Amino acid sequence: MIKSHIITIGDEILSGHIADTNAKWLSEKLYSIGVNTSKRITISDDKKQIKKTLKLSINNSNIIIVTGGLGPTNDDITKKTLCEVYGSTLIENKESLDNISKIFKKRGLELTKKNIEQALVPDKCKVLNNEFGTAPGMAFYEDNTLLISLPGVPYEMKSLFEDKCISHIKQKFNLPYIYQKTIKTTGIGESWLSDIIKDWENEIEEGIKLAYLPSLGRVKLRLTAKGENIDELKKKIENQVKKVLPLIKKYVFGYDDDELEDVIGKILSKKNKTISVAESCSGGNVSKTITALPGSSNYFIGGIVAYSNEVKVDELKIGKELIERNGAVSKEVVEKMAEGIRKKFKSDIGLSTSGIAGPSGGTPEKPVGTVWIGYSDNKVTKSKKLNLTERRDLNITLTTVNLLNLLRLSLKGD
Amino acid sequence: MIKSHIITIGDEILSGHIADTNAKWLSEKLYSIGVNTSKRITISDDKKQIKKTLKLSINNSNIIIVTGGLGPTNDDITKKTLCEVYGSTLIENKESLDNISKIFKKRGLELTKKNIEQALVPDKCKVLNNEFGTAPGMAFYEDNTLLISLPGVPYEMKSLFEDKCISHIKQKFNLPYIYQKTIKTTGIGESWLSDIIKDWENEIEEGIKLAYLPSLGRVKLRLTAKGENIDELKKKIENQVKKVLPLIKKYVFGYDDDELEDVIGKILSKKNKTISVAESCSGGNVSKTITALPGSSNYFIGGIVAYSNEVKVDELKIGKELIERNGAVSKEVVEKMAEGIRKKFKSDIGLSTSGIAGPSGGTPEKPVGTVWIGYSDNKVTKSKKLNLTERRDLNITLTTVNLLNLLRLSLKGD
């Protein structure tokens, strides 16, 4: 089994002032191509420590990915340290210099000496040209080890890794095939889900690993198989998926990279239907989630954030008495909101939210976390009550996920 | 200088399927009490590797915080491994057993053998009782090293660390005082900011460290001083802040934990003013950002997400010809939107956005990233053009930050 170490370099990570998102991303990518990360290490921009750590990793792993310490300032010492570790000297790399010049020209800035120095690379490395930034990536081959040094800026690191590194790794090492399939569910908690699929889980074929990955309002089931024959792996996993699907069909909204909002967007586009949203407690988050997707303007007409009761009355034509009699957080009001926005914006479907997001505003009858969500089309208007949490941020997200799922189920005719 | 290592244990972290939020949180906490984290290491639930890593860290640091591997399942081997490292044997801890029984009683569940085993602890450790979970924390003192083992569940780990560990650390080590102040700016890029404060930066008093911490649309300047006398440190830092403030006053929106939306909320509440928002390209994100704050219903009336041109025409009373003549992404339209929403929702101030978020929809005259933001009150209506990026997600966030800053400056009378 090919083992990798990930080394991230940076004082700001060690002081906790920035999150090390690179290491997580790299772990996931490496895993997906069949490389196990056996260790992750974060150290400071200190030559002695970098050198010691690199040497230890070179002796104990097959692949080492180093990020950070390649900037133009004096703190950035990764390149010099790599020279010492590999007995290499710095030489100018034409391709990198051209790239740096191009970037500066585009920005309308003069090249400084420090910037030109970024085109110097160790003579023993293979240069990985960085189109999105001024620090080139570097690959060192020695004995059975491949060391790749990448800049710490996440989007530069990510495109370099995807475009240039994966092929290097696959060329050098004989990697097993990995086949993964993730079933994405919503509307059911982890323990209930595990109860439903208990018998199936106990009989999963050997060599297939199952992981439960819960997040807010959603649970992912990830199946993984490693082996020599990709077609066989695929068959094995798809067979397992086929067996479990009938048990959990209602909760499955998609697979792998599908998000709830993508799935909904596809159904709406296919059915040629439009939607609009009237939001109270979710404060714009439903609209924001839907419009985060490119192309959403094809089916999303618009929304109203009806935060004050006046807006509910004036814009959504909800009777004052209805609010007085039932409260703004009620089945009656949320259904009128969904109907009101649908008619006002002339969309096929209207959605709505009204609830007590907290931390204040709760009563014994309607505690913080009480939320109503509504749906209306030209045939039916309906709603659902949710009993969520005491935390405002969680309540806003969970309201959104639940409403999108209500829409999904309604579109499917459930 | 007291040095710490943070060791997180867990296969799901190494495979990249969950983020290691514990390590970042611990780094930050340790830093704030004057302890430097010199290394962070993540390893798998593997006895040999845990043992090797612990021994190395015990020899190379003063404080070691270990998280994870304390659950009731067979994979969880941290406790057994600690016994081997410290030559200790497991004994039952009454306080832990009482705590576990209490938790199970509250949940209405029967205690299993595995759960009772969680009350077994190495005889050489000091037990840190975990009120929020079944795995007790443990502190080992040996020679000059303090090793603390904590459960991996974030909220259990955090409360144990804050309630029980900080006092242990402060008791054992003579820590310096730390004083930190963060100046938060927006509306100016890092390099321009650094240009403006260059002379000040060169003359910063010795012993004070300055860090630039850029994030989307914002740059934080963090000043840190360590020493024996907290009052002196405070005076030193406040003195530096006083000197730099006149140079960058326009860009400073707050300090330390202040967010742009908090600051605006406070000004609006104080001035007794209300706002509403008409959003196009930001798709609800401005409303969402404002309403994420508890109490925002005091000044936020509501918003309209005018995604389609029909909604702009029908709801915001923007002439069809105005859109046809100038395009929806224009000074004229965005100003009418701000005015329209202000009048419609009867708020003191109206805000608006209209732009090309991308990835498609750009033209040579108005490429992706072209965004107009608008402001209107009963005295003035104005707007600003932004040239943002090619990425939809960045454009949405940057539009929001820029609009909130336009509101902030307008409220201040700039």
| pLDDT tens by residue, A227-274 | 989 999 999 999 999 999 999 999 999 999 999 999 999 999 999 999
Q: Is the pLDDT of residue A73 over 80?
A: no
| DSSP labels, B123-173 | TTSEEE--TTSSS-EEEEEETTEEEEEE-SSHHHHHHHIIIIIHHHHHHHS
List domains and CATH numbers for chain B.
Answer: 3-172 (3.40.980.10), 177-255 (3.30.70.2860), 260-411 (3.90.950.20)
Confidence of residue A345 (pLDDT cuts 50, 70, 90): very high
Rounded CA separation B355/B279 (Å): 10
Tokens of A126: 């293979």
pLDDT at B228 over 90: no
d(CA A216, CA A396) in angstroms, rounded, equals 11
Contact call for B284 and A303, based on CB within 8 A: yes
Query: Which residue does chain B place closest to A306, by CA atoms?
Result: B302
Judging contacts by C-beta atoms under 8 Å, the chain A residues touching residue B306 are: 302
Torsion of CA A320, A325, A329, A330, to 10 degrees: -110
Q: How far is A20 from chain B (nearest CA, A)?
A: 8
ipTM of the complex: 0.85
Please list every residue in chain A whose beta carbon sits closer than 8 Å to the beta carbon of residue B302: 304-308, 311, 315
CA B44 to chain centre: 27
**pLDDT tens figures, B241-272:** 999 999 999 999 999 999 999 999 999 999 99
Residues in A touching B356 (Cβ below 8 Å)? none
Which structure tokens are listed for B56?
Answer: 């190395």
Whole-Å CA distances, A8 to A67, A144, B209, B214: 5, 22, 22, 19
Cα B55 from Cα B93, distance rounded (Å): 26
pLDDT at B320 over 90: yes
Whole-prediction pTM: 0.86
What value does the mean pLDDT of chain B take?
Answer: 93
C-beta atoms surrounding B90 within 10 Å: 15
Could you count the other beta carbons within 10 Å of the beta carbon of residue A221? Answer: 23
Cα(B195)–Cα(A364) distance, rounded to whole angstroms? Answer: 57
Which tokens hold the place of B78? Answer: 């941290």
What would the two tokens of residue A255 be?
A: 């697979």
Q: What is the mean pLDDT of chain A?
A: 93
Rounded to an integer, the average pLDDT of A280-288 is 98
Task: State how far residue B183 is from chain A, nearest Cα, in angstroms.
Answer: 14
Q: Tell me chain A's radius of gyration from C-alpha atoms.
A: 27
Q: Give the whole-angstrom CA distance, residue B271 versus residue B299.
A: 10
d(CA B236, CA B225): 8
Among the partner residues B20, B38, B302, nearest to A305 by beta-carbon distance = B302
Radius of gyration of chain B (CA): 28
Mean pLDDT check: name the lowest of A189-193, A220-224, B340-344, B375-379. Answer: A189-193
Mutate to test the interface with A, among B22, B109, B288 (most CBs of A within 10 A): B288
Contact B218, B186 (CB under 8 A): yes
pLDDT higher than threshold 90 for residue A103 = no
Q: What share of chain A is helix, strand, coil (3-state, %, to 5)?
A: 45, 25, 30
Q: How close A248 gets to chain B, by Cα (Å)?
A: 23
pLDDT at B111 (0 to 100): 84
Q: pLDDT-derived band of residue B289, with 50, 70 and 90 as boundaries?
A: very high
- The candidate with the shortest Cα–Cα distance to B370, out of B384, B353, B387, is B387
Nearest to B14 among A37, A277, A393 (CB): A37
Taking the CA atoms of A298, A299, A305 and A306 in sequence, report the sign of the dihedral they define.
positive
Averaged pLDDT, A163-186 = 92
How far is Cα A90 from Cα A263, in angstroms, rounded to an integer?
51
User: Residue B42 is nearest to which of A39, A345, A359, comparing CB atoms?
Assistant: A39
The arithmetic mean of pLDDT across residues A198-218, rounded, is: 89
Smallest Cβ–Cβ distance between A39 and the set B41, B288, B315 belongs to B41
Separation in Å, CA of B91 to nearest CA in chain A: 32
Encode pLDDT of B61-86 as tens digits. Answer: 999 999 999 988 777 899 999 999 99
Q: Which of B15, B268, B309 to mutate to test the interface with A (most CBs of A within 10 A)?
A: B15
Residue pointed to by tokens 């570790």: A85
> Residue B34 corresponds to which tokens in the numbers above?
């004057």
Question: Above 90 in pLDDT, residue B112?
Answer: no
Give the residue, B382 or B175, on which the prediction is more confident.
B382
Helix H, strand E, coil C: the string for A254-272 is: EECCCCHHHHHHHHHHHHC
Closest residue of chain B to A303, computed from CA coordinates: B305
Q: Does the pLDDT value for residue A402 go beyond 90?
A: yes
Q: What percent of chain B has pLDDT over 90?
A: 79
Residue of B nearest to A24 (CA): B16
pLDDT attached to residue B145: 93
* Pick from A301, A359, A393: CB nearest B308: A301
**Which of B27, B50, B57, B353 to substitute to test the interface with A, most A CBs within 10 Å?**
B27
Q: A49, B39: Cβ pair inside 8 Å?
A: yes
pLDDT for the residue numbered B214: 83
In what order do the strands lie in the sheet containing A177-186?
A208-215, A218-227, A177-186, A252-255
A40-to-A7, A24, B11, B44, B380 alpha-carbon distances in Å:
6, 9, 11, 10, 56
The CA distance from B26 to B162, in Å, is 10
- How far apart CA B40 and CA A6 sit, in angstroms, is 12
* Closest CB to A301 among B277, B284, B311: B311
Q: Are B357 and B391 in contact (CB under 8 A)?
A: no
B398 within 8 A of B216, measured Cβ to Cβ: yes
Please write the tens of the pLDDT for every residue from A357-388: 999 999 999 999 999 999 999 999 999 999 99
- Specify the amino acid at residue A374: G
Nearest to A154 by CA among B232, B394, B132, B236: B394
Banded model confidence at residue B361, pLDDT cuts 50, 70, 90:
very high
Q: Are A100 and A116 in contact (CB under 8 A)?
A: yes
Residue B99 is predicted with a pLDDT of 93
10 Å Cβ neighbour count for B389?
15
Check A294 against B359: CB less than 8 A apart.
Answer: yes
Tell me, rounded to whole angstroms, the distance of Cα A406 from its chain centroid: 23
Q: Are residues B40 and A42, on separate chains, in Cβ contact within 8 Å?
A: yes
- Per-residue pLDDT reduced to its tens digit, B201-213: 999 998 898 988 8
